[in-house]
Structure formats: C-alpha cells, structure tokens
Amino acid sequence: MAIDTLPLMPYVPAHSSKRIVGIDVMRILAALAIIYLHTKPFMSEHLYAGTLFSVLRDVIIQFARFAVPFFFVAAGYFLSRRLTTSPESASRVWPYIRRISILYLI
C-alpha cells in the first residue's frame, strides 16, 4: 500500500484523560493563593496603616481565601464522579469516611 493511499486517522494521545481545563486553572490559582496566604508578603500593617495600600492588601487577602474551600469542593466533586450506584462504590468511600471520622473524634 502506498503512503499516499493510507487512510487518515485522528491523533489520539496514548494516555488521554478527560481533564476539565477550567478546574485545572482554578487549582493553579488556588495553589498560588495558598502560597500567598502562607508567605504573608504584606503583613507589616503598621507601615501602611490607613493608606490605600492597606485597603488593597485586605482585598487581596479576602480574595485569596477562596482557595481552601475550593480544594474541598473540587475534591468532593471528583470523588462523587468516581462513585456510582454500584455496590463497589460503597467500598471505595468507606476508607475516606473512616479517616475523616477519626479526625473528627480526635
């Protein structure tokens, strides 16, 4: 068979996964927000008290606080997508429930 008569096949990557790009972008932003909150770059408030910079700092800090709830919501969303109504899904969720229950009991 000649090369020019081979049928054209669409390119499919070998390890194709169905990723949601919007959630991946939000995960990156949330990771940067957590780094921002932990490094506290603008926390010397005595230098900037009462200025526009202190208001900007407070606004940035409040916007960065979305990160932890976002990670919890995203983790729950992806866990629920893995679970189905089959009996095997109950066996998947029990290890998570046990670990969380131990933390709550402590």
Q: Give the number of other CB atoms < 10 A from CB of residue 37.
A: 15
Domain ranges of the chain: 20-105
- Token readout for 42 is 């603008």
Has residue 14 got a pLDDT over 80? no
How far apart CA 53 and CA 42 sit, in angstroms, is 9
* pLDDT confidence band for 9 (50 / 70 / 90): low
Res 98: pLDDT:
86
Q: What letter does residue 87 receive in the DSSP assignment?
A: H
What secondary structure does DSSP assign to 14-61, as a single string? Answer: TT-----HHHHHHHHHHHHHHHHHHH-TT--HHHHTTSHHHHHHHHHH
Q: What is the pLDDT of residues 21-73, one digit of tens each?
A: 888 888 888 888 888 888 877 666 667 677 787 788 888 888 888 888 888 88
Please count the CA atoms within 13 angstroms of the CA of 26 that sit on its side-chain side.
16
